[in-house]
Chain A
Amino acid sequence: NAGVTQTPKFQVLKTGQSMTLQCAQDMNHEYMSWYRQDPGMGLRLIHYSVGAGITDQGEVPNGYNVSRSTTEDFPLRLLSAAPSQTSVYFCASSPQGRSTDTQYFGPGTRLTVL
């Protein structure tokens, strides 16, 4: 199993550009989520999904959209990038999203918005 994969690994955008961060998992997990990690801020939840067709907002959802058309994929869309969205983005999955489940993280996407 590849686990959780993310692409791209690095990305530079100009303010106002849009892009999609890809996330895929091959463990048949129902729960998937997106976090951003900023220096001194820890990991903050952006959006999550408890299954195909179901998404919900986390702590910092503004400026981001998600969809979950399949169990495997959970892309994160930046509609109009802003410098405040410069961060490292992690996708994670777990079997059911229970607090005792192991969350499996991808390797991250490092995004810079100029």
Chain B
Amino acid sequence: TQLLEQSPQFLSIQEGENLTVYCNSSSVFSSLQWYRQEPGEGPVLLVTVVTGGEVKKLKRLTFQFGDARKDSSLHITAAQPGDTGLYLCAGSLSNSGYALNFGKGTSLLVTP
């Protein structure tokens, strides 16, 4: 059973378009993280959200943690080819990171 469901699984868009990726669960998480992974490399942390309703911005990327801390979204404005990669959400059910659960990821392709 997958604790974190990500959608869509694949996304192919053109440069300049906007997009939103979702990470949903029926469980409450103490915190949630978003990572980006490029081919042949390990994931790299983009952001950590902790408080329900929290919104964080990282340049053209906007991350939101749901009020009930069961879901999160990643919105990219004016996507660029450099945004191409696998986006993973990961959450912990407790304050310990020992049981960090990852979603299956959203594979994003941005073409010029």
Contact = CB atoms under 8 A, between A and B. Distances in A.
B39 to A, nearest CB: 11
A42 B102 contact: yes
B78 interface: no
B45 A102 contact: yes
Contact of B50 (A40, A90, A100, A106): A100
* Interface residue tally on A, bucketed by range: 20 to 34
B42 A106 contact: yes
A97 B94 CA distance: 11
Nearest to B93: A99
B31 interface: yes
Contact of A90 (B31, B33, B42, B97): B42
A14 to B, nearest CB: 25
Interface in A60-111: 90, 92, 94, 97-103, 105-108
Looking at chain B's contact residues, the main secondary structure is mixed
Interface in B50-64: 50
A56 B98 contact: yes
A114 to B, nearest CB: 22
B64 to A, nearest CB: 17
Contacts of B41: 107-108
A107 B97 contact: no
Contacts of A50: 98
Contacts of A107: 40-42
Nearest to B43: A105
Nearest to A43: B102
A98 B97 contact: yes
Contact of B103 (A42, A45, A108): A42
Nearest to A35: B102
Interface string A1-31: 0001000000000000000000000000001
